Chain A
Amino acid sequence: MLVKLLSGSMKKMWKDYLVLLFGLTISIAIFYMFETLAQNKAFLEANALISSIVFVFHVGTFILGLVTIFYIFYATSFVLSLRQKELGMYMTLGAKKGKVTQMMFLETLVIGIISLIIGLIVGVGLSEGIARLLMSRLDFSGEGFQPLYASSLWTTVIFYMILFLLTAIVNAIRVARKSVLELLHADQKADNKVIKGWKTFVGTLFAIVLITFGYFAMINMGELAHVGVLIAAATVTPGTYFFFMAMLPFIIKRIKGIRSINEKGLNAFTYAQLDFRVSQLSKVLGTVAMLIALGLGAMTAGLSFYHNTEIQSSLTHSYDIKVHQPTEEELTEMENWEFEERNLYSYRVTDDGVYFSKHDLQANPPMIKEFTGNLDELTEEVRVENNLSASIYTNDEETDNGETMPEQWQTALRTELLANFYMFGDRSLYILDQEKWEEINAETQTVLIGKVDNFTDYTDTLEEIENRHLQLALEFTGEEPLTTGSKYANYTSLKSLANGTIFMGLFLGVAFLMMMASVLMFKLLSSATADIGRYQMLRKIGVRQAKLKKSIYKELFLVFLFPGLIGLVHVLIGMEMFSFLLIEPYTKIWIPISLFLVIYGLYYWLTVKMYQRIVLPKG
């Protein structure tokens, strides 16, 4: 009988259950997505630039696990809030407490199991879809990645089954502990009304100490290594939750306490909306902040690896573009490029040597990158010293014919003018004055070198030039080398190395941010039903529609603002972790961050609109 009643009213509240199912499903899907990477050891090790990547993913699983536990406990308490009034009513009609408790237990568990099944299917689908999309965009083959990964599947099933069992027990205990009246009126009760000052103080202190420790570990990741990752994970995560659990109620209470603010217009109501369920809210916001930190962090790290490939390839190259014996076509194409500097040098090639004209080199001495011995800035750009007074310079140490070529000039010719082993084999390099140069019996060739603002704009042409150079090298040396050692060649090979890491960063970034969005959406939709009546009441006593809309904008703004800020700070500090892996972890960090801010802002606007549609009548 009771079962019949319950399933009947479940039908009535199908929208609320849909919301719940949605919230749980996304969480499961994302957890599974994460595990497809985390447990695929072969894939991780083959594709990541980070040596202890498997370890990093273990820690990631730990953080995600913690966040998920908080979220699932919050989400399943929604079942209780949907049901308790009704269960109370059955009890007033004579249903036994044991029976009612049992119902609560079963219902939570059944909903959990249903969402687990759907969540796994969605998770496999999302892994497949997102991975495919990213791989094609990144030109990354991603061999070994498996969207359907058995051991990840099992981990997810076991983890969530335990969680759902626990939450079912907790819900059942809550029902069992409450009296009939408490159940009947539970939805009207505010939580945590009196916050003790010392609790706020201790909580805040904890939050600050933990987060400070975590930041310290992240900044000194280079020395702390594995221990640092562990410390950061174990401090920042609980620190973030402490922050929201202690500070948020405190801040809201403080604002509410200022009468001139609270009693202005609808403010009393707006802040009460946040205050009324503040302990639940702080769990949600803690979770959102952590997910933003993880998602934006993964994405920023991925993009940072991407941008660092360019920096890394510039490490030894001053000039972006080097063209031996440029063709007519290439020259016309380059007419349109904006060069910051462009030089042309003549040379002649014989079987034994490559001869450069001192005249040309002295007219436009090239720049080179020199190592500084300083870790903050590995190399610096200098122009080679114009000190060629002899008539012959060579790097051939076995000949007496000529002076030893200065080190700087050797570097300039090898790296910047691309007169290296790949191109010319074991020919010696010479710099000759005009008279000696004329004596060399070979055709005059030219090499063009140039600096441009953004060399990745020209990768198409650079690839063609690279291929032509390989043919040229074949003519000079008799075999085609694997690379020419040009900046472009370095860039492409570094990029293919970094691709795996970039893929992981973006994949996880998308996953975490999706979960973040679903958590916020869940918070919103799960409170909508209760809010409809409140807004109706306010309209009746004469609050303008525009004021109600403004109140919603404000309420949700605060909900979005706090975790956004905390998450962002975590990311900004967290990027320090990569400073021992990347030359400049903060390069172009504004790209992922402004991208995030735009998407987050749009999402805020969308949620507000959606919420207004639910709680306010049309027209």
Chain B
Amino acid sequence: MTKSVVNVENVQKIFGKKSENQYKALDNVSFTIKEGEFVGIMGPSGAGKTTLLNVVSTLDKATSGKIEIAGQDITDMKQNQLADFRSDQLGFIFQDFNLLENLTVYENIALPLSLQGVSSKKIKPLVTQVAEKLGIKSILAKYPVTISGGQKQRAAAARALVHEPAIVLADEPTGALDSKNAHSLMKTMEHLNQYHDVSIMLVTHDPLSASYCERILFIQDGTLYKEITKSGDQQQFHQQILNVLAELTSIQSS
């Protein structure tokens, strides 16, 4: 049996103070992601996907429940512990504003390594390696404003992967990309997952992007609605996803 990288138990997230009107964005959510798994999170807008990702990524604190990542309980960690944890164990690809525009692509990718105190001798081969994998080696010296949106997302992916985190958390990384770029980014992630054992948790709206995953969790109104696992090929999985989404839409409209 493989170990779990993410273990979420009965997590609740309530926005707003006690005195004000509160909003329950996550209600009793439990799931696990095993080491080396590629898991997608889907659901309608406002369902709580970003909230879930933020809670798992330690950017936000859960109101109650328990979250373990790579065997460590993160729910009662202190500020500095959380920061160190993020820089050691997690890789992020945000929906937008991923790269620091005053650093070159190279410097952006190198940042997580520098933060961990990796010596500059070792940094260069690591950055070049990951850049090669993602096909952005030729733009390393450029500043973010001079590269394309797809290149930016791949640079962000490179930064998320360069320090070999326990898990990569991605919030709609293909949201701003055309289908060709989206496809190439997803292909890369799939490759990293399959051949380099990177665990990935991916939030997406796009069924085609989601079909690269091994397993999809569907969220509806802050609760886990359904879970499907890839059994056949990608084409079939895509169809399966579309079916569940149609189901969800019909529930919402009724």
Contacts and interface: CB of A to CB of B under 8 A. Distances in A.
Contacts of A276: 101-102
Interface residues of A, number: 33
B145 A189 contact: yes
B228 interface: no
Nearest to A619: B79
Contact of B114 (A189, A267, A275, A546): A267
Contacts of A264: 114, 117, 120
A260 B120 CA distance: 5
B88 interface: yes
A547 B82 CA distance: 14
Interface in A591-619: 619
Contacts of A268: 103, 107, 110-111, 114
A526 to B, nearest CB: 16
Interface string A273-305: 101100000000000000000000000000000
Given A190-B143, A272-B107, A534-B102, A542 B97 contact: no
- Interface residue SS majority, chain B: helix
Contact of A540 (B85, B94, B101, B120): B94
B225 to A, nearest CB: 28
Contacts of B110: 263, 268
A12 interface: no
A545 B86 CA distance: 13
B83 A545 contact: yes
Interface string B95-129: 00110111100010011111101011101100000
Contacts of A275: 102
A97 B145 CA distance: 23
Contacts of A273: 102
Contacts of B80: 544-546
- Highest count of chain B CB atoms <10 Å: which of A540, A542, A545: A542
Contacts of B100: 269, 272, 534, 537-538
B59 interface: yes
B144 interface: yes
B152 to A, nearest CB: 11
B218 interface: no
B50 interface: no
Residue among A193, A273, A541, A545 facing the most chain B CB atoms (10 A cut-off) = A541
B144 A543 contact: no
Nearest to B108: A268
Contacts of A144: none
A539 B83 contact: yes
A185 interface: yes
A419 to B, nearest CB: 78
Interface string B62-105: 00000000000000000110111111101010100110111100
A259 interface: yes
A190 B141 CA distance: 13
B145 A541 contact: no
Nearest to A534: B100
A530 B208 CA distance: 36
Q: Is the contact region of chain A dominated by helix, strand, or loop, or is it mixed?
A: helix
Contacts of B117: 264-265
Contact of A541 (B92, B101, B103, B107): B92
Contacts of A190: 101-102, 143, 145
B111 to A, nearest CB: 7
Nearest to B59: A540
A527 to B, nearest CB: 11
Contacts of A539: 83
B83 A544 contact: yes
A545 B79 contact: yes
A540 B102 CA distance: 17
A543 B84 CA distance: 7
Contact of A269 (B103, B120, B124, B159): B103
Q: Which residue, of B59, B90, B102, has the highest number of chain A Cβ atoms within 10 A?
A: B102
A336 interface: no
Contacts of B102: 190, 269, 272-273, 275-276, 534
B250 to A, nearest CB: 37
Contact of A543 (B92, B103, B107, B115): B115
A474 interface: no
A197 to B, nearest CB: 18
Contact of B112 (A188, A262, A541, A545): A541
Contacts of A130: none
B72 to A, nearest CB: 14
Given A534-B102, A542-B115, A188 B83 contact: no
A263 B114 contact: yes
Contact of A265 (B85, B90, B92, B114): B114
A478 interface: no
B74 to A, nearest CB: 12
A316 B102 CA distance: 65
B84 A542 contact: yes
A537 B111 CA distance: 12
A263 B115 CA distance: 9
A259 B124 contact: yes
Contacts of B113: 263
A265 B115 CA distance: 4
Given A534-B102, A544-B84, A269 B111 contact: yes
A259 B94 CA distance: 28
Contacts of A266: 114-115
Contacts of B97: 533, 537
A534 B107 CA distance: 14
Interface string B202-235: 0000000000000000000000000000000000
Contacts of A541: 86-87, 92, 111-112, 115, 159
Contacts of A538: 100
Interface string A502-542: 00000000000000000000000000000001100111111
Contacts of B124: 259
Given A273-B102, A533-B97, A534-B102, A542 B90 contact: yes
Contact of B87 (A189, A260, A533, A542): A542
Interface string B136-150: 000000011100000
Contacts of B101: 188, 190, 276
A266 B83 CA distance: 14
A272 B103 contact: yes
Interface string A182-193: 000100111001
A393 to B, nearest CB: 85
Contacts of A193: 143
B251 to A, nearest CB: 34
Nearest to A547: B115
A456 to B, nearest CB: 55
A188 B87 contact: no
Interface in A231-270: 259-260, 262-269
A542 B114 contact: no
A533 B119 CA distance: 28
Contacts of A269: 100, 102-103, 107, 111
Nearest to B142: A193
Contacts of A547: 115
A265 B145 CA distance: 24
B145 A542 contact: no
A187 B112 CA distance: 25
B111 A185 contact: no
B120 A542 contact: no
A276 B88 CA distance: 28
A6 B85 CA distance: 44
27 contacts: A185-B145, A188-B143, A188-B145, A189-B145, A190-B101, A190-B102, A260-B119, A260-B120, A263-B110, A263-B114, A263-B120, A264-B114, A264-B117, A264-B120, A265-B117, A266-B114, A268-B110, A269-B111, A272-B100, A534-B100, A542-B82, A543-B83, A543-B115, A545-B79, A546-B80, A547-B115, A619-B79
4 closest residue pairs by CB, A with B: A542-B87, A542-B86, A276-B102, A263-B120
